[in-house]
């Protein structure tokens, strides 16, 4: 019932936003009536496509994936159209103020017609560019993290992080396989997968996540759950990940020996896991319980950056997270900051380093603007 209520609100808000865009742009379009009717028809079609696109992963028929593609492409385009329409209205309001102070200094009619067409053109261009950024294989991003007191044997220790792949209606086997091949070429010491691997059931997606079983690293491949694993059946997915060879850390740790030195690698369940299963409540302190006191380098895999405060209190050195996608589509990155302490990149909380990946795939619209995807090569280096 709560889900139905949310979806009804989502559709209602979506319709109202489409009406707003239509009323603000269509009357000013420098086209004949037929062109304006086509624009109105597209907005109606967008309203009809986006809701089933959001629900498509629940449709078992192959038509579900096609609906997802159509709905998500429409959502991605409308997102840019909406933001640009709001920006246009701000500019027009400013010009009206100028015209009120200095009459006839601005040709408002020309601005209205020219800007309405410009908004649509820019929305199309940004959507095409965002689609290219989302669908290409994520580039490798190298980040050096200075660790105080790092043993010499661990200087240069490499952790390749994948996060937020979101295998589902629009991300399939070949997309994942390309990521795996790129990671294996990096010859990492550890591969860390920080959650949100999937959007759908094991039965539907096991074939598409199978390439992850080919990931290779000197000291193993480790994973933690994200919130989307819990939406998709976390217990089944944890079993599947383990079946293909991943080590899933659920409030647990392992001790890794490398060149005569040791580090602790721990992982927690998603920050919200306790809402789905109280027994799986995320607990960084429990993940470190029993770890040798003489090991100073302690790395935590935690899907959401907001685990950082508990991680710092528990005594971790570095936390690797994802979840935010870096906002994925500008300007939504500003909204991420309302929920998460970090949006993207390397930051520090007290003595804890936190690296937040922008994600290796994408969620929802196949679109990335201002937040490129990444395969992150994290190198531990000595520091003060």
Query: Contact, 329 vs 368, CB < 8 A?
Result: yes
Q: How far is CA 137 from the centre of its chain?
A: 15
Decide: residue 335, CB within 10 A, 0-12 exposed, 13-18 middle, 19+ buried.
exposed
Return the structure tokens found at 175: 């997309």
Q: pLDDT digits over 5-28, tens only?
A: 777 788 889 999 999 999 999 999
Is the torsion defined by CA of 69, 74, 77, 78 positive or negative?
negative
The per-residue pLDDT for 102 is: 85
Q: Which CATH architecture has domain 140-383?
A: 4-Layer Sandwich (3.60)
Residue labelled with tokens 């959007």: 199
Element housing 346 (H / E): strand 345-349
Element housing 340 (H / E): none
Longest Cα pair distance anywhere in the chain, in angstroms? 78
- Judged against a pLDDT cut of 70, whether residue 226 lies above it is answered with yes
The per-residue pLDDT for 61 is: 65
Q: pLDDT digits over 94-132, tens only?
A: 988 888 888 877 888 888 999 999 999 999 999 999 999
DSSP type of residue 323: S
Q: How far apart are CA 261 and CA 156, in angstroms?
A: 13
Query: Contact, 308 vs 319, CB < 8 A?
Result: yes
- Judged against a pLDDT cut of 90, whether residue 58 lies above it is answered with no
* DSSP labels, 94-150: HHHHHHHHSTTSS-HHHHHHHHHHHHHHHHHHHHHHHHHHHHSPPPEEEEEEEEET-
Domain with CATH 3.60.21.10 in the chain: 140-383
Is there a cis peptide before residue 99, judged by omega within 30 degrees of 0?
A: no
The span from the first CA to the last CA of the chain, in angstroms, equals 54
The per-residue pLDDT for 165 is: 98
Q: Three-state SS for 220?
A: coil
Q: How far apart are CA 44 and CA 31, in angstroms?
A: 19
Beta bridge partners of 257: 262
**Average pLDDT of the residues in 308-316:** 96
The per-residue pLDDT for 333 is: 79
Entry pTM:
0.91
Considering only 114-118, 185-189, 262-266, which range has the smallest mean pLDDT? 114-118
Q: Are strands 221-224 and 190-194 parallel, antiparallel or unpaired?
A: parallel
Return the ∠ at Cα 79 (arms to 126 and 125), rounded to 5°: 15
Q: Three-state SS for 224?
A: strand
Instruction: Compute the half-sphere exposure of residue 181: CA atoms within 13 Å on the CB side of its CA.
Output: 7
Q: pLDDT digits over 324-372, tens only?
A: 999 999 888 788 888 899 999 999 999 999 999 999 999 999 999 999 9
């Amino acid at each position: 019932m709560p889900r139905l209520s949310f979806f009804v609100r989502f559709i209602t808000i979506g319709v109202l936003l489409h009406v707003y865009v239509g009323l603000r742009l269509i009357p000013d379009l420098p086209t004949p009536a037929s062109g304006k009717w086509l624009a109105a028809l597209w907005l109606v079609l967008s309203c009809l496509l986006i809701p089933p696109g959001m629900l498509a992963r629940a449709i078992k028929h192959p038509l579900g994936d096609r609906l997802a593609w159509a709905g998500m492409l429409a959502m991605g385009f409308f997102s840019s159209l909406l933001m640009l329409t709001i920006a246009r209205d701000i500019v027009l309001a400013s010009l009206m103020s100028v015209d009120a102070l200095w009459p006839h200094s601005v040709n408002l009619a020309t601005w209205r017609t020219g800007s309405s067409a410009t908004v649509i053109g820019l929305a199309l261009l940004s959507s095409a560019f965002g689609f290219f950024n989302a669908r290409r294989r994520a580039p490798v991003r190298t980040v050096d993290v200075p660790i105080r007191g790092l043993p010499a044997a661990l200087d240069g220790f490499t952790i390749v992080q994948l996060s937020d792949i979101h295998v589902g209606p629009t991300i399939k086997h070949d997309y994942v396989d390309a990521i795996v091949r790129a990671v294996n070429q990096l010859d990492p010491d550890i591969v860390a997968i920080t959650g949100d691997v999937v959007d759908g059931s094991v039965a539907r997606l096991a074939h598409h996540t199978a390439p992850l079983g080919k990931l290779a690293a000197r000291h193993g491949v480790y994973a933690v759950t994200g919130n989307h694993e819990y939406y998709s059946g976390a217990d089944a997915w944890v079993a599947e990940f383990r079946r293909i060879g991943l080590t899933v850390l659920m409030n647990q740790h392992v001790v890794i020996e490398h060149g005569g030195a040791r580090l602790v690698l721990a992982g927690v369940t998603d920050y919200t896991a306790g809402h789905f299963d109280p027994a799986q409540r995320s607990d960084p302190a429990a993940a470190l319980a029993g770890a040798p006191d003489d090991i100073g380098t302690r790395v935590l895999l935690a899907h959401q950056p907001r685990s950082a405060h508990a991680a710092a209190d528990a005594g971790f050195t570095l936390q690797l997270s994802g979840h935010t996608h870096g906002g994925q589509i500008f300007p939504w990155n500003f909204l991420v900051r309302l929920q998460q302490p970090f949006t993207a990149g390397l930051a520090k909380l007290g003595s804890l380093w936190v690296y937040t990946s922008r994600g290796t795939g994408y969620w929802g619209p196949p679109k990335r603007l201002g937040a490129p995807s990444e395969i992150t090569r994290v190198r531990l280096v000595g520091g003060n």
